[in-house]
């Protein structure tokens, strides 16, 4: 009878350990899913940051170009030889004789 009682107690301990292990496993699975979701959100945020960086660079480039254009006058372009003086068809070139 004592052997039977000992086996019953061992069985009860086994059941308790199994239930405890099951709870831990369920908890770990939930944490794993939560971690996967957080990693997914982090990746999405990192992708968004990359997109925003590209937008910022584009805006900075546009802003710089606007500043350059605002400062760049036709007179400066003429001085640098980037453009030729505007001539009307009936107008004679400077220095030409009539």
Q: Note the pLDDT of residue 74.
A: 76
Buried/exposed 29-64: b ≥16 CB within 10 Å, e otherwise? eeeeeeeeeeeeeeeeeeeeeeeeeeeeeeeeeeee
What number of helices (H) and strands (E) belong to the chain?
2, 0
Query: So where are the chain's domains?
Result: 2-79
- 68 Cβ partners below 8 Å, 6+ apart? none
Per-residue pLDDT of the chain (98 residues; tens, 9 = 90+): 899 999 999 999 999 999 999 999 999 999 999 999 999 999 999 999 999 999 999 999 988 888 777 677 778 778 877 778 777 766 565 555 54
The verdict on pTM exceeding 0.85 is no
């Amino acid at each position: 009878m004592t052997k039977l009682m000992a086996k019953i107690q061992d069985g009860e301990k086994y059941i308790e350990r199994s239930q405890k292990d099951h709870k831990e496993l369920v908890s770990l699975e939930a944490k794993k899913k939560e971690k996967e979701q957080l990693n997914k959100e982090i990746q999405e945020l990192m992708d968004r940051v990359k997109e925003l960086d590209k937008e910022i660079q584009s805006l900075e480039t546009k802003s710089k170009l606007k500043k350059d254009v605002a400062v760049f006058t036709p007179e400066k372009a003429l001085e640098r030889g980037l453009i030729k003086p505007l001539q009307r068809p009936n107008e004679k070139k400077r220095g030409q004789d009539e």
